[in-house]
A = this chain, B = another copy of it.
Amino acid sequence: MGKTKKYCYGFCLLISVAVNILFSINLYVGGDKRQVISNQSTLTWSEKAAEEAEAVAGIYCSGHGRAYLDGLISQGQPVCECFDCYAGSDCSELSPGCAADADSGDPVFFEPFWMQHATDSAVVISGWHRMSYRYADGTTMSKELENYIRKLHSVVGNAVTEGRYIVFGIGSTQLLNAAVYALSSENSSSPSNVLASIPFYPMYKAQTVFFNSKDFQFEGDTNSWQSNNQTNKMDVIEFVTSPNNPDGELKKPVLGGKTIYDHAYFWPHFTPIKGPSDHDLMIFTLSKLTGHAGTRFGWAIIKDKDIYDKVLNYISVADLGISKDTQLRVLKLIKVAVEGDGMPLFEFSYNKMKDRWDRLTSVFSKSTKFSIQQRHPLYCNFFNETRLPSPAYAWVKCEREEDHDCSAVLKAGKIIGRNGSLFSADDRYTRLSLIKSQDDFELLLKRLTELI
């Protein structure tokens, strides 16, 4: 019995020690987890919102749609919003005869980049974030964001910001009109003449005509104006869009008067960066830099204090500044944009655009009915090599004499472009957007191949 008892003690101890060792291993391996616990359990008020956002991001839409936090709700959760030509609750159904819509300049081709950089680009906004009209310095603009915008231009080398003022606007859109007001005559009896060179972005005309101010009037094309007006003494405000929308040309001023440089597309993915732009009034937009068109954020870089004050005043009278939520998000996005001296973002975006242009050029090269704009190689100081531009839009010309309405010809081939006349050019031209989603581009290429 004594011996049995002794064996029992021994055996039990063995088992007990073994159990201890197992627990110890668990405790050790669990050590990291415990570390994780103590980090994670510090999340309190933000956790629910984070879970909601991740749950919505995890809704399956077949890669042909997205669900969003503010999407319409069905059965308690947001539904998939399908891309063009896709349908069904999970966006898996392709509509076979669907037209390729290449109309809008929606820069959704950036989306995969932001999904790849989800961690660094997410932002949490607390319920009490920046409730005031103003930041601590009394302005309506985030100084930290301004610093990052300056850093961005320094990294990319596309604009001089030293000694210049920066004003934020609701997209570059608002700043275009703010700039016209700031530069225009204060003498209503001789309003300033606003002009641009054909083909030009329709918004210049639309805004100037819409606001119908006594201080300025839209006078159309710079070249016609120059040939009709012998005197250069007249008060002109010229929009110089470089690269140009629609055709990607690096434009220069024609009239030599007051000039607004619209640099929306002056980024390495669309054009080689020869060097920093150094003008009195330059306008940029987040939309064509990072793809966040929905975020409505742009900025003007201004040399003259008086013009700066006038643009600031415009923003203040128009809407008391830019939403603080938007400014916080833009700060996050630009922080990611300048990571690695901009290389991850611009390599991604340039490669996308180059691939699209390579494939597009190959299709158009087979055609005598259609042509697209010529592209000329330039040395890019950002990428340190000579590259072809890869503009945001193809500027298509219908070459056959009978094809006066190029949009109609394309439409018959199930391709939706934007009429040349919208850009004050001939309808023999049509703009095709190359910056939409991959699905959109693939369908465009398919329809073009069928047509050509």
Contact = CB atoms under 8 A, between A and B. Distances in A.
A117 interface: yes
Contacts of A213: 211-214
A297 interface: yes
A250 interface: no
B126 A106 contact: no
Interface stretch (A241-249, A301-309, A322-330, A397-405): A322-330
Nearest to A296: B323
Contact of A320 (B143, B173, B188): B173
A232 interface: no
A192 to B, nearest CB: 12
Interface string A12-39: 1100110110011011001001101101
A123 B49 CA distance: 5
Contacts of A169: 319
A128 B69 CA distance: 12
Interface stretch (A129-137, A193-201, A360-368, A373-381): A129-137
Nearest to A145: B70
Please indicate which of the listed interface residues A9, A52, A81, A111 has the most CB atoms of chain B within 10 Å of its own CB. Answer: A9
A53 interface: yes
Contacts of A131: 106-108, 110-111, 114, 291-295
A45 B129 contact: no
Contacts of A106: 131-134
Interface residues of A, number: 121
Contacts of A33: 34, 37, 41
A50 interface: yes
Contacts of A136: 71, 81-82
B326 A325 contact: yes
Contact of A177 (B170, B174, B318): B318
B123 A124 contact: yes
A359 interface: no
A20 B16 contact: yes
Contacts of A48: 119-120, 122
A46 B37 contact: no
B23 A13 contact: no
A63 to B, nearest CB: 13
Nearest to A293: B133
A38 to B, nearest CB: 9
A357 to B, nearest CB: 21
A392 B412 CA distance: 61
Given A54-B43, A132-B294, A294-B130, A69 B37 contact: no
A44 B50 CA distance: 9
B16 A142 contact: no
B329 A125 contact: yes
A52 B320 CA distance: 29
Contacts of A57: 45, 126
Contact of A324 (B130, B294, B319): B294
A144 B317 contact: no
A127 interface: yes
A10 interface: yes
A333 interface: yes
A127 B144 contact: no
A321 interface: yes
A94 interface: no
A121 B132 contact: no
19 contacts: A2-B6, A16-B19, A45-B118, A46-B50, A49-B123, A69-B328, A70-B324, A106-B132, A106-B133, A110-B131, A114-B131, A121-B126, A121-B128, A122-B124, A127-B336, A170-B170, A174-B318, A213-B213, A296-B321
9 smallest A-B Cβ distances: which pairs?
A121-B127, A9-B9, A45-B118, A16-B16, A114-B127, A170-B319, A53-B124, A23-B23, A294-B324
Given A43-B51, A213-B213, 5 more contacts: A20-B23, A110-B131, A122-B126, A213-B214, A296-B323
